[in-house]
């Protein structure tokens, strides 16, 4: 059988059709994705891509328990599948490598998949997200750019692949081309929330606050309906409001979309919550009991280190809610993890070089040791990309450094960093006021 982009897939017709449905659901960030992926193996228990797709979903959650459930999928693969083609074997290898903590090796394997099978949308999507998890801004661009010349407009997912490229272009600093491509992708597929997301990033990075709010409002029905990226896009909406110092508006979005009684408390959504509240914390805004609620949610998560970017956001919640015992316990866990000699996983390098220092800096900030916080962050301020996320997400680290510098009385460096920000974001009220204070 062949899938919707003409690649051979080991499955019966119903299994192949279910795979195509699941892939489209994934590209649209639709909440029925887990159900759609399960349908693949329900339709054909001998279809290897059903088990591998499910394993990828767990890994993409960025949470250890969900990720390690992929081992069960590999066991099921071995029990139920008698044959795999070469492409499927390469996907199985990528899954095993990521499960073993070797994110870089997994990304490289997906590169190799795309060399032979450039139309493989799942390899493009998963590789794209892996690049994002590792903060590989240039590869976010190059992975998709290398595949696109081998695709044409008849490719079933052409518009969605272009939106991936738009995000890669933005993270690489090519804002003009990224915006044009992102807007065109969304015009082609109104439900392309990753394309909307790419355009928002361009407007955020270029400081076009009014344009960002207008675009989000114009596309409101598209990004708020039937997708699980709406929390993150609501977070972007709140960031634009913070640049105007509209704290009430930002908290209204927080309560309406980011953390609600119906929230599933997934790490991907909770880090948006921590990031937004920490920005408000730096500005001295009282957020009531929101920090306590969020800290309690972080305490329910598996304490074993798995993804350094999540650890930073958990630390924010512990520190800002006054749970210094938990914050210091996190520091000790990360120190033990980094000191272990029996692992060389990608996340260990992320933690050692960036994640652990940032968590220590957050603890110092929470204890009022602002000079110490700044002293920790200054040497790594140009390397924070290596532990994942986007430029917009990692900006919270730079804001923390600026805040610590100002509170420690180091106004010369604070002024230099603020002037850089103002050059990039001339309409930022936050930066203008901070610069005046410095």
Task: Give dist(CA 61, CA 268) in Å, integer.
Answer: 7
User: Helix 70-80 to helix 86-99 angle, to the nearest 10 degrees?
Assistant: 150
Q: How far apart are CA 86 and CA 201, in angstroms?
A: 37
**3-state secondary structure (DSSP) of residue 8:** strand
Contact 303, 349 (CB under 8 A): no
Each residue of 215-269: pLDDT tens digit?
999 999 999 988 999 999 999 999 999 998 999 999 999 999 999 998 999 999 9
Give pTM, 2 decimals: 0.96
pLDDT at 45 over 90: yes
What percentage of the chain carries pLDDT values higher than 90? 92
Query: Class for domain 1-156, per CATH?
Result: mainly alpha
Average pLDDT over residues 173-184: 97
The pLDDT value given to residue 422: 87
Q: What is the pLDDT of residues 295-312, one digit of tens each?
A: 999 999 999 999 999 999
Alpha carbons 409 and 420: distance in angstroms, whole number:
19
Residue 288, number of CB atoms within 10 A of its CB: 8
Instruction: For 157-175, write each residue's pLDDT tens digit.
Output: 999 999 999 999 999 999 9
Q: How far is CA 262 from the centre of its chain?
A: 21
The C-alpha angle with vertex 74 and arms to 72 and 80, in degrees rounded to 5, equals 100
The correct answer on CATH 1.25.40 for the domain covering 262-438 is yes
Nearest to 34 by CA among 17, 60, 54: 54
d(CA 119, CA 166) in angstroms, rounded, equals 18
pLDDT at 61: 97
- For residue 344, pLDDT beyond 90: no
pLDDT band at 271 (very low <50, low <70, confident <90, very high): very high
Q: Are 279 and 258 in contact (CB under 8 A)?
A: no
pLDDT computed for residue 424 by the predictor: 82
**pLDDT for residue 223:** 96
Q: CB under 8 Å to 148, separation ≥6 — which residues? A: 161, 162, 165
At residue 434, the pLDDT reads 87
Q: Is the per-residue pLDDT at 332 higher than 90?
A: yes
Per the model's pLDDT, the better-predicted residue between 54 and 340 turns out to be: 54
Residue 44, pLDDT above cutoff 90: yes
Domain ranges of the chain: 1-156, 262-438
Length of the chain: 438
Q: Please give the structure tokens belonging to residue 251.
A: 């908290």
Residue 86 token pair: 């070469």
Same topology between domain 1-156 and domain 262-438: yes
Q: What is the pLDDT of residues 367-381, one digit of tens each?
A: 999 999 999 999 999
Q: How many CB atoms lie within 10 A of CB 419?
A: 12
pLDDT band with cut points at 50, 70 and 90 for residue 393: very high
d(CA 48, CA 12): 11
Give residues with Cβ within 8 angstroms of 323, minimum separation 6.
295, 317
The rounded mean pLDDT for the chain is 95
Question: Rounded to whole angstroms, how far apart are CA atoms 241 and 262?
Answer: 24
Confidence band of 134 (pLDDT split at 50, 70, 90): very high
CA distance 308 to 294: 18
CA distance 71 to 78: 11
Q: What is the tens place of the pLDDT at every residue in 7-16? A: 999 999 999 9
């Amino acid at each position: 059988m062949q899938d919707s982009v003409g690649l051979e897939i080991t499955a019966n017709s119903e299994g192949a059709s279910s795979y195509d449905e699941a892939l489209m659901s994934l590209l649209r960030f639709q909440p029925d994705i887990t159900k759609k992926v399960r349908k693949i193996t329900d339709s054909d228990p001998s279809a290897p891509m059903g088990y591998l797709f499910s394993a990828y979903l767990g890994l993409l959650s960025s949470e250890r328990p969900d990720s390690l459930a992929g081992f069960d999928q590999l066991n099921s693969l071995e029990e139920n599948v008698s044959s795999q083609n070469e492409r499927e074997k390469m996907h199985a290898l990528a899954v095993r490598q990521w499960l073993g903590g070797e994110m870089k090796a997994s990304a490289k394997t997906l590169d190799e998949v795309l060399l032979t099978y450039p139309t493989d949308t799942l390899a493009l999507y998963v590789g794209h997200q892996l690049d994002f998890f590792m903060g590989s801004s240039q590869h976010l661009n190059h992975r998709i750019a290398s595949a696109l010349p081998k695709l044409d407009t008849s490719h079933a997912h052409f518009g969605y692949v272009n939106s991936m490229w738009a995000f890669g272009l933005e993270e690489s600093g090519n804002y003009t081309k990224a915006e044009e491509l992102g807007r065109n992708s969304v015009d082609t597929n109104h439900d392309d929330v990753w394309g909307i997301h790419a355009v928002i990033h361009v407007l955020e990075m270029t400081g076009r606050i009014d344009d960002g709010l207008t675009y989000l409002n114009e596309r409101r029905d598209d990004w708020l309906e039937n997708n699980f990226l709406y929390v993150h896009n609501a977070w972007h909406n709140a960031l634009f409001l913070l640049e105007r110092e509209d704290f009430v508006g930002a908290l209204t979005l927080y309560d309406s979309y980011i953390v609600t009684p119906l929230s599933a408390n997934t790490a991907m959504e909770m880090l948006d919550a921590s990031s937004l509240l920490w920005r408000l914390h730096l500005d001295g805004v009282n957020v009531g009991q929101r920090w306590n609620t969020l800290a309690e949610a972080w305490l329910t998560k598996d304490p074993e280190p798995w993804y350094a970017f999540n650890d930073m956001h958990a630390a924010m919640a512990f520190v800002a809610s006054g749970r210094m015992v938990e914050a210091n316990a996190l520091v000790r866990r990360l120190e033990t993890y980094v000191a272990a000699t029996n692992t060389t996983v990608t996340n260990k390098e992320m933690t050692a070089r960036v994640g652990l220092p940032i968590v220590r800096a957050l603890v110092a900030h929470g204890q009022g040791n602002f000079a110490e916080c700044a002293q920790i962050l200054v040497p790594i301020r140009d390397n924070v990309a290596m532990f994942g996320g986007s430029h917009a997400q990692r900006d919270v680290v730079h804001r923390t450094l600026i805040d610590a510098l100002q509170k420690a009385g180091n106004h010369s460096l604070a002024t230099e960093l603020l002037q850089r920000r103002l050059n990039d974001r001339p309409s930022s009220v936050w930066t203008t006021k901070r610069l005046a204070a410095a």
